[in-house]
Amino acid sequence: MKAGRRVRDAIGQIQGAGAPLARVESAAAETQDARCCMTVAPQALRRCAAAWRLSGRSPAPPCSCSAVRMATFRHKNAKRIEGLDKNVWVAFTSVAADPTVVNLGQGYPDVPPPSYVKEGLAQAARVDRMNQYTRGFGHPSLVKALSQVYGTVCGRQLDPFKEILVTVGGYGSLFSCMQALVDEGDEVIIIEPFFDCYVPMVRMAGAKPVLIPLRPKSGMKTTSSSADWVLDQEELASKFNSKTKAILINTPNNPLGKIFAREELQAIADLCIKHDTLCFSDEVYEWLVYRGHQHVKIATLPGMWERTVTIGSAGKTFSVTGWKLGWSIGPEHLVRHLQTVWQNTLYTCPTPLQEAVAQGLQKDFQRMGRPDCYFSSLAAELEAKRDRMAGILCSAGMAPVVPEGGYFMIADVTALNQDLSHMQEDEPYDYRFNKWMIKEKKLAGIPMTAFCGDDTKRQFEKYIRFCFIKQDATLDAAEAILKNWSQQTSV
């Protein structure tokens, strides 16, 4: 009690004391609990601390006079994460977690992974050594398996210890590239639409994202295939300058599903070489290529191996996104910097998961080129789902863009003419449409503008992205909703 009065008196001596002081006083006098003071404004607390000293009391007694001990908490976040707190996945996954909603939003399979992959993990976990730390830059059996698979695909000898880094998902590889090779003041070219984490990662590295959009080929009002979306060559060339450190490409592309053709990659390669830039090639969907199309690795083009880091993902390869294992492959003089980042961020990935992926890769490496190889069989299975998805989106009146690869499809919803003016004004149309669709139709997608910069929002806000790597029951449920769309639409 006495303590409280003394504090109050002392504070009274200081000008500018305001309303919050009443709370400080009662907190100090009654509960002596630090938590009460959290409600008080920092300025008042600062004055409190001064008041305490002025009142002549010695440093706070051990059980608290909270008012003093709870000095101003000035802790702001570091500048590098300023403005990076928003995240579309955090926003939409909780909404779509409602079990009554048919979730075609976030990109993960609801089909089981191949059984030998799951068994591989169960077996690995039973070996004692597999439950303890392994080599930081990648479990030996895994990097060796990766060097075999990718050595064959790239047509070169890969050093498993120097040219490969195993990371926590493709995400971890992207992050390592940015932190290792991109500096403050650098520019990084990103092609829109882009997987949403690219821009925040570039910004966190202190660099400037320079965006260039894929556009429908000239003259096309509607497009039916992802192949119809192309880069304007002059526009692309204009984005390169002396500050450009790297270009980030994603093929097959998320969300569009475009697979960059050899000529398109060559044009990018020529610019990289001319301007002496690096290339980060996100190829996590590399095996999900549909008939008539071919995945080309930009690192295999002349002059590109030395300047390219290629990123892959076990999660996407084996339908185990929850394992969060990925890899970066490139020349030693680049990969060693990624390894430096790695040893200072996470140090090592989980051992049993790496062992299981190694086993899976070995198995499918033996079968490469055969239809029973999971890399090919998954693509065949998904092609049917892709075609089905396109059909049912059409039946609702949407205009899907059929992807050449990957497991997403975007659809133009303009023809539905859905009036959403009653919803939050400042959000782009596709965000509002998606929210409305979740609420009214119990169907979740992801708004396309999550994958583009501010300047192209107008271009992309009429599209919604749908994920089709879903079991038949899910697609049946989606079909039921989409086929009955016009019947249920409210004005």
* Residues of this chain, 364-403, that bind other proteins according to CB under 8 A: none
Decide whether 200 or 216 has the Cβ nearer to other proteins: 200
Name residues whose C-beta falls within 8 Å of residue 361's C-beta, 6 or more positions apart in sequence. Answer: 142, 145, 146, 148, 149
> How would you write 206-269 as a 3-class SS string?
CCEEEEEECEECCCCCCCCEHHHEECCHHHHHHHCCCCEEEEEEECCCCCCCCCCCHHHHHHHH
By CB under 8 A, what part of segment 188-247 binds other proteins? 197, 200-201, 204-205
Pick 364 or 404: Cβ nearer other proteins: 364
Instruction: List binders of other proteins among 285-304 (CB under 8 A).
Output: 302-303
Q: How far is the CB of 306 from other proteins (least distance, A)?
A: 5
Using CA atoms, how far apart are residues 285 and 32, in angstroms rounded to an integer?
Answer: 58
Q: Which of 112, 368, 370, 486 binds other proteins (CB under 8 A)?
A: 112
Stretch that binds other proteins, among 21-29, 305-313, 359-367, 412-420 (CB under 8 A): 305-313
Could you give the CA distance from residue 123 to residue 76 in angstroms, rounded to a whole number? 46
CA 133/CA 154 separation, integer angstroms: 30
Does position 75 bind other proteins by CB under 8 A? yes
x/- track of binding to other proteins for residues 137-166 (CB under 8 A): -------------------xx---------
Token pair for 381: 């299975």
- Cα–Cα–Cα angle for 398, 403, 408, rounded to 5 degrees: 75
Q: Which is nearer to other proteins, 93 or 377 (CB)?
A: 93
Q: Record the tokens describing residue 156, joined without a space.
A: 């070169």
Shortest gap between Cβ of 487 and other proteins (angstroms)? 32
* Smallest separation (angstroms) from other proteins to the CB of 180: 6
Q: Residue 338 is which amino acid?
A: L
Instruction: Please report, as residue ranges, which positions from 311 to 370 form the binding site for other proteins (by CB under 8 A).
Output: 319-325, 331, 333-334, 336-337, 340-341, 343-353
CB atoms within 10 A of CB 124: 23
**Cα–Cα distance for residue pair 337/343, rounded to 1 Å:** 10
- Closest approach of other proteins to the CB of residue 429, in Å: 25
Range 7-66, binding other proteins (CB under 8 A): 34, 38, 59, 62-64, 66
Closest to other proteins by CB, 344 vs 487, is 344
Shortest distance, position 58 Cβ to other proteins, whole Å? 12
Strand pairing report for 102-103 and 443-444: parallel
Query: 246 to 285, contacts with other proteins by CB under 8 A?
Result: 273, 276
User: How many residues bind to other proteins according to rule CB under 8 A?
Assistant: 96
